[in-house]
Chain A
């Protein structure tokens, strides 16, 4: 009873100077309305550009190339989607580029996840000479801008004969995503209570069984979150894909999209359809792991 009363009575001293004859209840309603309005504005600011991309993709050309504001397509058309699927861009259907992007992103995740899990287990479960140095190394290499490694990696990939090969892109993306992957995953490994492994150990399980049957299932959600992060990074990567692929059949989505800005003006319906196709998988993944990703990014960046 007292707790519910205190907020009403105590701040009275604060209210006095600004008293405008409004009852506390009306004031409360007003501030609730103001907050909700602000919330709606933020929502609109965030979603309108995304909505505009999707709606442009579904509009007919005469609704696209106009100075009028057409908030809701008058008629919905799939002509742009069909065109990028059949005619495509730069000589290939958009499926080719979607497939290339998927190969690169999945390849990066599969290789990266194994390496990251091993290293994260080592850091979170063992104390060994050089452990701190390894951690500092992980931190420092994350600060190296990928753009800075462009030139040497380009030369190395050519020398290794991986130019114009999706494998080259996969290898580079593993390198770009691994330090952060280890850094993020180790918090998930450390969060699994050690007593569980000790119990398995006492019951006579081998080291591998303990890892595979006890630790792995418990870390799996964290591994999924980390993998999705790597997937998105590789899926979105533009600059290496731009310089390592010269044949159009090897382009990934970010590169292919550039070719819509072409010779005969910009085909906005088609590019918006392409951008939407590229965005959908990322949005789905994002909404799936939203919570974990934030805590992983922030906590992973700060904590040991």
Chain B
């Protein structure tokens, strides 16, 4: 909590790491190692893990995306170099474009909804009485804690055609109202998860439900860090609630919001588990997103690892472009 509140004010007050060379030399004698070696010894294990499990595979992925890797190559036959063939093949594939559209549209809608709902709930939590807000926090934490696969299972059940509660609830609406909104009154047996469009509605509901709690709790932590004098001053000046929110809360929470936005984009861009459960494995090609498309190409028979890797490269580049802005901002403004 305290950490977050310091960001809200934009200040950093962590102790700065050791820089005096004199002290380091003195310590070195006691431990038997030259002082300058120690930090390197400490980071070597972590560095090896990162290099071996993340960086090297990243390079391999790029290499594979220019190769033909099928069953024979998985068994050990050297792979053939095919140049940019995998990429041209993908760009010609309709499924790639529908996957790209699904990925981007889903991310934009979900990030927006999550941020708006999360901010609203965070602000609400800040206004509720202590006991009430503690209760609501426990409630939303229990939604956030549900594992992604179980989230998918739960919403698949709620959106079930026959015994699902969503159809039951829609049937409760007065017929004229349902008719006016959706052009139909009877929802019994509506198979939400068969059609890509309604499948994505279910996916959006599922992901927003599971991810707004994190935004809400983070916004609440940020709000707690804003000095109450500012709000008192605004109140004395007769500022309306909306104006106070726009002129005081938003600017002060800007750093928190930028982190939350980026984290949400990263998480929602590559949503996999929930989609996998909701559409019952990689079955409906029109409902693929890029992660699912890459997975299906590479691991459904016949395995086409080369094209799978090319899709993964495109997904990674997209994500890095979106997040580069954020990384630059951290590197520039924060004391690393």
A131 at interface, CB cutoff 8 A: yes
- Contact A287–B273 (Cβ < 8 Å): no
* Binary CB contact string for chain A from 25 to 56 against chain B (1 if under 8 A, 0 otherwise): 00000000001101100110111011011001
A95 at interface, CB cutoff 8 A: no
- Contact A158–B74 (Cβ < 8 Å): yes
* Binary CB contact string for chain B from 137 to 161 against chain A (1 if under 8 A, 0 otherwise): 1111111111111100111011010
- Contact A272–B132 (Cβ < 8 Å): no
The 3 nearest A-B residue pairs measured at CB: A175-B53, A299-B3, A122-B42
A-B contact pairs, 22 of them (CB 8 A): A11-B236, A11-B238, A39-B133, A42-B124, A47-B139, A47-B142, A47-B143, A49-B154, A119-B43, A119-B47, A122-B39, A122-B43, A145-B270, A148-B313, A171-B53, A174-B49, A254-B147, A275-B153, A282-B147, A287-B142, A295-B4, A299-B4
- Contact B312–A150 (Cβ < 8 Å): yes
The smallest C-beta distance from B258 to any residue of chain A, in angstroms, reads 8
Given contacts A119-B42, A235-B147, A297-B263, contact A147 B218 (CB under 8 A): no
The smallest C-beta distance from B212 to any residue of chain A, in angstroms, reads 8
- A232: chain B residues at CB < 8 Å are 147
Instruction: Give Cα A207–Cα B140 distance, bound, in whole angstroms.
Output: 44
* Binary CB contact string for chain B from 297 to 336 against chain A (1 if under 8 A, 0 otherwise): 0110000010011001101100110010001001100111
- Contact A139–B330 (Cβ < 8 Å): yes
- Contact B238–A297 (Cβ < 8 Å): no
- A156: chain B residues at CB < 8 Å are 57, 60
B3's partner among A124, A126, A137, A295 (CB-CB below 8 A) is A295
- Contact A119–B57 (Cβ < 8 Å): no
The smallest C-beta distance from A224 to any residue of chain B, in angstroms, reads 16
Interface residues of chain B, those whose CB is within 8 Å of chain A, are: 1-4, 6-7, 12, 14-15, 17-19, 27, 30-31, 36, 38-40, 42-43, 45-47, 49-50, 52-58, 60-61, 64, 69, 74, 121, 124-125, 127-128, 132-133, 135-150, 153-155, 157-158, 160, 162-163, 165, 168, 188, 209, 213-214, 217-218, 221-222, 232, 235-236, 238, 240, 255-256, 259-260, 262-263, 266, 269-270, 272-273, 276-277, 280-281, 291, 294-295, 298-299, 305, 308-309, 312-313, 315-316, 319-320, 323, 327, 330-331, 334-336
* Nearest-CB residue, chain A, relative to B255: A302
